[in-house]
Amino acid sequence: MPTTPPLDSGESARRRAAEEWLELHTADHPAETPGEQLKRVLKSRHLFMITLAGVIGTGLFLGTGQVIGSAGPGSTLIAYCVGGLLLYLTMICLGELSAVMPVSGSFQAHATRFISPEAGFAIGWIYWVSWASFIGLEFLAAGIAMKFWFPDVPTWIFSAIFIVALFLVNCFTARSFAETEYALAAIKVLAVGAFIVLGGLAVFGVIPLQGQPAPLLSNFTDHGGLFPTGLGAVLAVMMTVVYTFMGSEVMGVAAGETENPRKAVPRAVRTIVFRLVFLYLGAILVLTALIPWNQLGLDESPFVTVFSAMGIPYAASLMNFVVLVAILSVGNTGLYMCTRILWSMSKEQAAPKMFGVTTSRGIPIVALVVTVAFGLLSLLSSVVAADTLFVFLISVSGVGGALTWMTIAWAQMRFRRRYIAAGNSVEHLPYAAPFFPAAPILVIVMNIAVFIAMAFDGTQRLSLILGLGMAPACYAIYRWFLRPRIQARIAADTMGHPAGE
């Protein structure tokens, strides 16, 4: 009696075909030698907390006061809702790419493979300069934070201590970085969670405020209402809000050293974004309910203001500690991302080959040393070239993150269309970003809108020009000096499936 074939044999064949296509078109750098390899030592819990830590930083603990003081309560909430939407759309695009191609180069490698070598070269260097510059500022900020307790000790001493400490953390293994970041992230999340709970109780009088009655909803109706500076204030603060969410892309970078990334990445995407948005919006809602918007600014962390009003002892010291933790966490994450991006570019001859050298523990040691050195250059430039080099570096830092998010969306569009054109189904992807193609298109359009808003703001126009100007500069360098060598390398690696369409 003949055997009836399984009903799902056709589906199994299609799934195998999709897996073979992905294996062929997303293969990692095949030319790695034993001295140029990273190691998958991170767990799913590390990926989750590292991504949380990348976003919860000084932008929340310090920057929100400036945003609320400029835009008012209603405009601030709208701006962060829009920023949260942009974060979500970017993360689902990155999640799809990182699940099918979990490499430490992340969006830089994705851009090279699915857009063009020029795009990968440009965004890799823009991102590295952005974060390496920012690391120097974090070292300075950490030293300044320590002055709160030790006012007579020179700032540079503490900065030097933290530089050495973070270098050593990143020097041993990716696991040592991850465990450190896990602990730092836990402190930040607990601080924000405690603020939301205690602040929420204070809004309704459960916890009394010193010298004033429970505000209830009065700060949303008094002092000019929800929109005291008009709805136009939303656009004015959007770049600051978007910049606050930068760092979430560390998920893609860490996926290259995470065990079983095709399961860990989708799990992280589904849980991280909504928790981040809840923490941010919850904290901002409590802030705007407790403190009149026109009493907030850059003079003091709004978290300190609230905790002090609730009579919590040593509120200023506690929050200064949390801010210090946030600074060190961001610096730690920045060092990690920069070294991996530089390592990835060396694999594609988009950076000197020596940056691909790793230790026996899988650490790109040369890339790490160079990143720290550049961070110190950024720190030095804030003193000796404040009006020239320092302005340029800060401008690239501000605009580079938005360009990165646009590149992620563009690469995801190119990948998905190529995948579908080959006859594959999205059902066979490890993680398929919803709302395609609306999601990547919205990411690009929303970031362009932020750039347009910056162009009309005289205080941000120079940053926009300098930051965007680095993209054509990188493109020209690639075309004139590196194109023949890089194209030969890409052609050899891809064996008939070039990065560009």
- 185 or 58: which carries more pLDDT confidence? 185
The residue segments making up the domain with residue 119 are 45-482
Is the pLDDT at 90 greater than 90? The verdict is yes
356 occurs within a structural domain? yes
Reported as a pLDDT band with limits 50, 70 and 90, residue 299 is low
Q: What is the DSSP secondary structure assignment for residue 83, as one 8-state letter? A: H
58 occurs within a structural domain? yes
Is the pLDDT at 251 greater than 60? The verdict is yes
Reported as a pLDDT band with limits 50, 70 and 90, residue 375 is confident
> Quick one: which H or E segment has residue 408?
helix 389-421
Is the pLDDT at 116 greater than 70? The verdict is yes
Question: What is the pLDDT at residue 393?
Answer: 63
* CATH number assigned to the domain comprising residue 328: 1.20.1740.10
Cα 297 to Cα 129, 134, 302, 452, 457, distances in angstroms: 29, 22, 8, 25, 19
21 occurs within a structural domain? no
30 occurs within a structural domain? no
Q: pLDDT digits over 336-367, tens only?
A: 999 999 999 998 888 898 999 998 888 999 99
Question: What is the pLDDT at residue 409?
Answer: 97
pLDDT > 70 fraction of the chain, expressed in percent and rounded: 88
- 378 or 207: which carries more pLDDT confidence? 207
Is the pLDDT at 292 greater than 70? The verdict is yes
Reported as a pLDDT band with limits 50, 70 and 90, residue 390 is low
Q: Helices marked H in 56-116 — which ranges?
A: 58, 64-71, 73-100, 107-114
What does pLDDT average to over the chain? 84
20 occurs within a structural domain? no
Question: What is the pLDDT at residue 338?
Answer: 93
Using CA atoms, how far apart are residues 380 and 398, in angstroms rounded to an integer? 19
The mean pLDDT of 86-93, rounded to a whole number, is 95
Is the pLDDT at 231 greater than 90? The verdict is no
Question: What is the pLDDT at residue 240?
Answer: 82
132 occurs within a structural domain? yes
Which of these, 10, 290, 52, 369, lies nearest to 192 by C-alpha position? 52
- 177 or 32: which carries more pLDDT confidence? 177
Q: pLDDT digits over 74-83, tens only?
A: 999 999 999 9
**Least confident segment among 123-137, 346-360, 484-498:** 484-498
Residue 119 CA from chain centroid, whole number: 19
Q: How many domains does the chain have?
A: 1
9 occurs within a structural domain? no
Which of these, 140, 133, 166, lies nearest to 155 by C-alpha position? 140
The mean pLDDT of 464-472, rounded to a whole number, is 86
CB 138 within 8 A of CB 331: yes
CB-neighbour burial class of residue 207 (10 A; exposed 0-12, middle 13-18, buried 19+)? middle
166 occurs within a structural domain? yes
Reported as a pLDDT band with limits 50, 70 and 90, residue 161 is very high
Question: What is the pLDDT at residue 37?
Answer: 66
Question: What is the pLDDT at residue 32?
Answer: 47
The mean pLDDT of 421-449, rounded to a whole number, is 93
Using CA atoms, how far apart are residues 64 and 277, in angstroms rounded to an integer? 14
Using CA atoms, how far apart are residues 36 and 352, in angstroms rounded to an integer? 13
